[in-house]
Structures are given as C-alpha cells and as structure tokens.
A and B are shown apart, each in its own frame.
Chain A
C-alpha cells in the first residue's frame, strides 16, 4: 500500500475539514472515548428520534488524521440510519479495517467513502485509531438501550 493511498484526498479532506464537528447540547447520549496509548480523545454526541433513528451525530476531540477522518466520515455515514443498520455498519467497518472482510460490491456500496480507510488494515498499529469513533458509537447505542445518557470508553492495548 502506498502512502498516497492511505493519506488520500478523501481522508485528508475529512481531517482538514471535519464534518459534524462540535457539541450537541440536546444529545440523548454522550460518549467520551480515549485511546491512552496515543492520547487520542473523542467525544461523541448522539440524538435518536422516536423511531430509533440516528437523527443527529456530532463529535469533538483531538487525534491523528486517521482517527479524525474516521470519526468525521462516520458521522456522515450513520446520520439518519436506524439503530440496527448503524450497528451493522459498525461491524462491517471494523471487519474492513481489521482485514477480516473481503469487500464485495454491495459492501463497498454500503461503506461508500469509508472504503478509503481500507488501507489501515495493513497498518496494525493504526487500526485502533480508525475504530475509536466506531467503538464509541457502539458504546453509545448500548448505553441508549440501557436507558443511560453518558458513557465512557477507554481503549485497551492489544
């Protein structure tokens, strides 16, 4: 994998101009996620509507290009999705960056721009950067199901 394909236009664009960045005071669930190993920090705000759709998803935080771009792209990808579909996308995305999925045309279509992060699967020490936001989303959805509104997630070393 070449550097240019990892740090391609889509990823750099999301890194430099993150979408849905900011706080969401009316969020139903707030997740604070940290990766102590590299110091990445991310706060994810989720608002669900009456039909359990992700009505609004925003984030704040600091981190590397991979983690920031992944978070930015994620907020775009899951906006408006029903909870179950969001959970499926989390699984699919994680399989992709962990190198556990052969992407067929349908999977690629569902992932859309997220496919640009596929190269991470070849960089073992960067996988956690890409999955931080997604694990935070998973945690947030679980917290919502439990009826809670705040959750914390600390990534562990492998």
Chain B
C-alpha cells in the first residue's frame, strides 16, 4: 500500500503524482480506497464530513481483515497460544496509544466504545460517588452533547448545578468567565480540546493551570476532535480525564479510550460489571481486577483495538505535525475561498488557532437545501445542529452547514465545495 512517503516510483507514477499535486489533490488520498473509485455518475467523492467520522486507509482495512482471517481469538484468557498472541497485540495497541498521546501511564488507559462512553464512565464511576447537592460542574457552551448530557444525568441523580462558560465574538472561550464560575463547590471542569462546530483549539495548558490554581476540581478534556488532527502531549497538560474515539482518526467504529491517572482510577468504583473486570467473586461481593481491566467489563472490541493500532501506525508514519500543517494550510485556503461566496457567514473566524471544521450559513438558503445541492455534486457535508444545540442557540441559528477536513482532502475538494455553493446561490437567487 502506498504510504505517501518517498519511495521508488516509476516515472509515470511520478508524473501522475506531480499532476495531482498541481491539481491540488492530496497525495495521502491514494491510501484510502474509497477515493480510488468513481463515486456517482463519474463524479468524484468530495468527503467533507470527517468531524463526524473519517474514511479508512487500506492499512486499517487490511489489519481488520488479516486479524479476522489469521489470528482471531479472545483476549485475557490465555489458555492457548493464539489467545496469548491476541492479548499481546491488544495491549501493544494500548502502549501505542500511550506513545501517541504522550500518556505514559498505560494502566490508566481504558478502552471504551467511544468518547461518549468514556465521558459516561467518568460521570457514573466518579460522579455518582463524589458529587452531591450543592456541588457544581463547569462546562462550556461549545461542548458536544456527549459532554453535556452525562452531567445533566448527574444533575438528576446527584442534584448538582451545571455552569457554562460562553464564547466571545472570535469563537474563543471566555477564560475570565471560567475563572469566575469556578468556586469551592466546583468538582469538575469539562472542556472540549477542539470545537466540532467552530474548529476552535482551546488553550488546554492555560485552562489546566487556571483550574488547578483556583480549585480542587477535576479536569476532563474531550479530545475527540483534537487527537486526530494535532500532536497531543498529555504529559505537558494538567488534566484528570482525556477522552477520544478511534473512528474520527482513521480507525474503526466502536472503539475509543479514556486516559486518566492510576491513583484516581484506583479510587473509583467500576463502571460496568461483568467478566474480565473481576479478581475474585463471592456470593455477595467481588474484588476488582487490576487497572485498566477493572474498567473493561465484558469481551472488548478486539478487532476495533487492532484496527485502531493500524490507524495509529499510519498517523505516526505520516507524522502528526504534517497532518496539522496540511490541515492548517487547507483551512486557510478554504476560509479565503469561502469568503468569496455571496451571502456567506462563517462561524468562528479570528481564533488564535482553529482547525479545519468550518460551519457556515448562506443567506436565505436553509442548510438542508445546501446539503441536497452539494450532494448532487458529490460533496458530502453535515447540515444540522452538530450535536451542539447549546452552541446553536448561543449563535442564534437553528442549524448550520459544516464542512470538515482531514489529511485526505486537498484544495480540489475546497474548489468543488465552493463551486457547488455558487450553484446554490445561483439557484436561490
């Protein structure tokens, strides 16, 4: 499979690559089979919905297929050679993830179904025992529903108060307001690393320091939109929980992780009960397995973990710095081109740092009509509230259109997006 790294190529292949570069095509795209086939009526697929979920490179698809074809068995029941091998590979991915995120405490890396389940794990396993009436949890208006609803459920069970940090004109969190909202009853502060609507990269080092300085509150960072797109080094951060999903970073669906600290996880009750997470079971009691298995009840999504490992390898080989550079350059290009579309309003411009998630509105054209017209051109974008209804309300819009990029997108994708938007404007003129 062609990674895009320099490797010996025939001259025609080189020519072809040069041609593609000139056309603004992205060379990593060739590693993704979905882009190597015609999409519909000969038009190419312009996939601009990676904030929802990403396409998969051949190496990930092959890893899944190879695993099921050649080495499939269960984990942690090593009564036979095959299972021991699988268990090793399974835990190697944990080590890879630790490396990828700069999170050396492997015992504090818990596999979950996705970022959503990781946050629910924290809410239930930590929150039920540690929150009580009068306490508050501070969130932000730009959180995905997955970092709001679990805390609303805790408000229901434990009578806590929820507080929300707002954003300014530039689409950045009001950090002074964050400092004001935190008081001695604040038990947790939950902030997304990157906004799935505005693309804003929140200043986690600053936020971490701020929270530590003025409270004992725990810190939860939602890395679902960050870990896929920029280098993350958790050793440099003040945090207690960091969550992410594999499917947003080239891996399979159904697998994600919670990164925490062992001392903290040791003190928490398990989230789900069942097999694999126990040590000894009596009639009325049980003792828990060591970390991280205490939080991994039931047979896990083994293939998902293996596939995620392949995705991490791929991203590591490309280099997250390059992924970020590519995305920043493409975002600049997209913002410049999009601003030429008559009647467009882009949400979130002027942040200190923003990634390739661009939400916009076209005057007089509903996001669903935009999506239909774009779909006609093979351009896939998201229309709706993006699981961020609080932010939508704050921005004063019922819904927006959202285009989001990843390493397989190029300027040609942006051009096709802009051309299709121009047609929408023309139709609704």
Contacts and interface: CB of A to CB of B under 8 A. Distances in A.
B385 to A, nearest CB: 6
Nearest to B420: A3
Interface string B368-402: 11001100100000011100000000000011000
User: Which range contains the number of B residues in contact with the other chain?
Assistant: 10 to 19
Contact of B366 (A6, A16, A37, A64): A64
Contact of B372 (A6, A37, A41): A6
A39 B428 contact: no
Interface in A86-139: 123, 126, 129
B384 A38 contact: yes
Contacts of B373: 3, 7
B368 A7 contact: no
Nearest to A126: B372
Interface in A1-58: 3-4, 6-7, 12, 16, 37-39, 41
Given A7-B427, A7-B428, A62-B398, A123 B384 contact: no
A3 B423 contact: yes
A3 B427 contact: yes
Contacts of A3: 373, 376, 423, 427
Given A3-B427, A39-B398, A65 B385 contact: no
Interface string B407-429: 00000000000000001000110
Contacts, number: 39
Contact of B369 (A4, A37, A66): A66
A80 interface: no
A30 B369 CA distance: 27
A82 interface: no
B372 A39 contact: no
Contacts of B367: 64
A4 B427 contact: yes
A6 to B, nearest CB: 7
Interface in B3-60: none
A6 B383 CA distance: 19
A129 B365 CA distance: 15
Given A38-B383, A38-B399, A39-B385, A64 B427 contact: no
A5 B1 CA distance: 43
A31 B423 CA distance: 35
A111 to B, nearest CB: 22
A38 B368 contact: yes
B372 A123 contact: yes
Contact of A64 (B368, B376, B423): B368
B299 to A, nearest CB: 30
Given A3-B376, A7-B427, A126 B398 contact: no
A98 to B, nearest CB: 17
A39 B399 CA distance: 7
Contacts of A126: 368, 372
Interface string B195-219: 0000000000000000000000000
B428 A63 contact: no
A38 B383 CA distance: 8
Interface in B344-368: 364-368
Contacts of A6: 372
A153 to B, nearest CB: 18
A126 B373 CA distance: 12
Contacts of A7: 369, 373, 427-428
26 contacts: A3-B373, A3-B376, A3-B427, A6-B372, A7-B369, A7-B373, A7-B428, A12-B427, A12-B428, A38-B368, A38-B383, A38-B384, A39-B384, A39-B398, A39-B399, A41-B398, A62-B398, A65-B365, A65-B366, A65-B369, A65-B428, A66-B368, A66-B369, A126-B368, A126-B372, A129-B368
* Nearest 4 A/B pairs, CB to CB: A64-B366, A64-B368, A39-B398, A65-B369
Given A63-B366, A64-B367, A66-B368, 13 more contacts: A3-B373, A3-B376, A3-B427, A6-B372, A7-B369, A7-B427, A7-B428, A12-B427, A12-B428, A37-B384, A38-B383, A39-B384, A41-B398
